[in-house]
Structure 1
Amino acid sequence: MPLQFLLPYEPVVFGYHLNVHLILEYLAFFIGFRYYVFLRKNSTDTISSLNRLSILIGAVFGALFLSRLIGFLENPPLHATQGFIAIVNNKTIMGGLFGGLLGVEIAKKIIGEKTSSGDLFTLPIIVGIIIGRIGCFLSGIKEFTYGVQTSSIFGLDLGDGVLRHPIALYEVVFLILLFIALKTHQNKKISIENGSYFKFFMVAYFLFRFCIEFLKPNEFLILGLSSIQYLCVICFLYYYKFICKTLLYVAKKLHLL
């Protein structure tokens, strides 16, 4: 059966249309959290359970706030006319990630925790995003994770009869490769600075999203860039010391080769 007859994928069960995207979104949270619990039980965590809980609370509230704010800023003129409920429901993972990061840092300041806490969250976050993006892909053009029209071999009909870049699938492939790379490096048990895995994930993912935004049909742009891309730039500035250190390390390795 041609793909255009499959997307958006909305199966009917007992007479009800299932919202596959919403189901996978909840599944992403559940599996991601269970994976985090598994990793914490099988690792030496120097952060106490109480402090971990405080950090999680900070991450949740930070993610909730900034995910909605950045989601609104993707197209303020459009979202302003949709009403309060639509604005609250509109969200983006990019704002969630950076908002969660800020929420964690604020929580750690309050409780006086100085140990980097991100590494334990890194792989579960990647798994959660992968599951969520599969849901976005199955939603076709009902979710703003589709690309502009293309005549390349990657073009797919996402439900509107137009061959588009399947950006959600691009992201799934990228995240799977990133997961394999980080997991492989962790298995080698190479000694690196605490928190480096999470920083690398954030920089790599935000760089990918900065580039992939050029393939999206964004209508609200400032100086040619979307709100997501400006958030990416802010993230790069936030991690500029880590980026410089990483680039210097790579340059030294290449010089040795």
Structure 2
Amino acid sequence: MKTFPFRTPFRTPFRTVALLALLPLVPVLAGCGRSGGLASAGATATASGPVHLWPDRQGAAVPPADPGGAPPEYVQGIPPVPDQNVHAVDPVALVQAELRAHPNADVGADGMPPETAAAIRGCGQEGAERAACPVLTPYYRDLTGNEADELIVGIEFPDKMMSVRVYTADADGRLNRIMATTQTVVSVELAGRDVILRVPSGNNGYELITAWSWDEKQRTMLPTREQIVRVPGNPQTPVGPSPGLVPGTGTSP
């Protein structure tokens, strides 16, 4: 009688186990090319970095740039405000105090036009029309990150020019002017902690957008970003402010 060596009935050779494990995958792999299955996206484009042209050429020496913003200046003739609350400040009285502190501000080509200075001095006087006052309705926004609002003032100049000024109150309540620029302005916007000015560029049909931001080191607002953009449609059509801004608040309703 022929005998066979004893084997454990539960022991399956390794090759048999591997083959059985692969069998359920055969239908899946067979359907990869069908609709809804995996498909190749093609060859991946080779990434290319910037190429430095004429690397042997010695470039021009670039001196450090002027920060470009007006130096901070405390306003004389305005009493300190409690709790850094600039909402309590009368913007007309503030601008009038600056004129008194700088009596020659309306003299010279770079100063305030004499007719604008005269109109500011007449703001609020008996019989004066409010519409004739060139100091516009103020806006408020925390631009410095000190968890207190800053005061944003606009002054209309002739020929669509405008002076945009920003004031903050220090811990002692003293008002400090941290931004002052005069330009031919298309529009002024607030975006986050930035004051955005849109002005005509030197090219027809384009505008220059400048973002003014708080600089902790200089302790003033500086023009930090600039961009030239094409004006859609009529280049003479002003671009309105960002929707949702409420005059006198600088915040969304």
TM-score, length of structure 1 as denominator length? 0.23
Greater share of residues in helix: 1
Looking at CA atoms only, which structure, 1 or 2, has the larger radius of gyration?
2
